[in-house]
Amino acid sequence: MQLKSRADKKDNAMRLQVYLAHAGAASRRSAETLITAGRVSVNGKIVSVLGEKVLPGDQVCLDGVLVQIENQRWHLALHKPTDYICSSADPQGRPLARDLLPKNIKERLYNVGRLDYRSSGLIIFTNDGDFAAKVSHPSAGIEKEYILETSGIIPETVPEAFMQGIDIEGIHYQAVRVDRLGKKSLGIILVEGKNREIRRVFSYFHLHLIKLRRIRIGPVLLGDLKAGASRALTNQELSGLLKGTSV
């Protein structure tokens, strides 16, 4: 009877990484990493290979904690201060950006994209897997705008090289736009935004960043949101992000 029951439910089967995203455990891409790391179990059995399907009634756990699909969808903008990490946990015990979110939110939220430990500014948190997948995919073409400050004067050759494109250790980095704000400060707009892209480019030119802050993601502005504070995205901002539009 149990086998028949599971067979009857196959039409409603869902990929495990999709289930985790809808449950607010992680984005689909991050969920794949959680699975391959052996941190996810289905009905008490660890699943470490992608492709597993979840059926209605199955029990899915992340690190031994039951996760379930949530009805309430959250889309929040957070002003991440420096010295906070964008992760669900940290072996070094550093403060987590997710812990700055309102305590009344019971659902598990995760960050869409990242800001490194030393950077500050705008980051989006959600438990909406479909939204996260669309917004984080490079094909969405969503602009991210940053302001940076260096310890030394920035030569004119640096912004020019960044806009023209530069290869560092086999990886191509290219800014959409670079504006000079001062002798030691720039405004930079990226689209794809590879891991630690700005820091890698400026390190290549032997320039030390003393400040890096993201002030915009697509149509969403950091504005006067205070460090450590968050707010709900407006319907207009959500629509703009899904359409890949900017300000």
Residue 90 has pLDDT above 70, yes or no: yes
Residue 60 has pLDDT above 70, yes or no: yes
Average pLDDT estimate for 70-82:
92
Query: Would you name the residues annotated as active-site residues?
Result: 116
Average pLDDT estimate for 176-197:
94
What domains appear along the chain, each with residue ranges and CATH number?
2-67 (3.10.290.10), 75-137+230-243 (3.30.70.580), 143-217 (3.30.70.1560)
Average pLDDT estimate for 98-117:
92
Q: What pLDDT does residue 194 have?
A: 85
In the structure, what pLDDT confidence band is assigned to residue 1 with cuts at 50, 70 and 90? very low
Q: Are 13 and 54 in contact (CB under 8 A)?
A: yes
**Nearest of 103, 114, 156 to residue 30 by alpha carbon:** 114
Write down the residue that tokens 């959250």 correspond to: 74
Calculate the alpha carbon distances from 235 to 116, 219, 225, 231 in Å. Answer: 28, 11, 18, 13
35-43 long-range contacts (CB < 8 A, ≥24 apart) are 39/63, 40/16, 42/16
Residue 139 has pLDDT above 90, yes or no: no
Q: What pLDDT does residue 5 have?
A: 53
* pLDDT tens-digit map of 35-56: 999 999 999 999 999 989 999 8
Residue 170 has pLDDT above 80, yes or no: yes
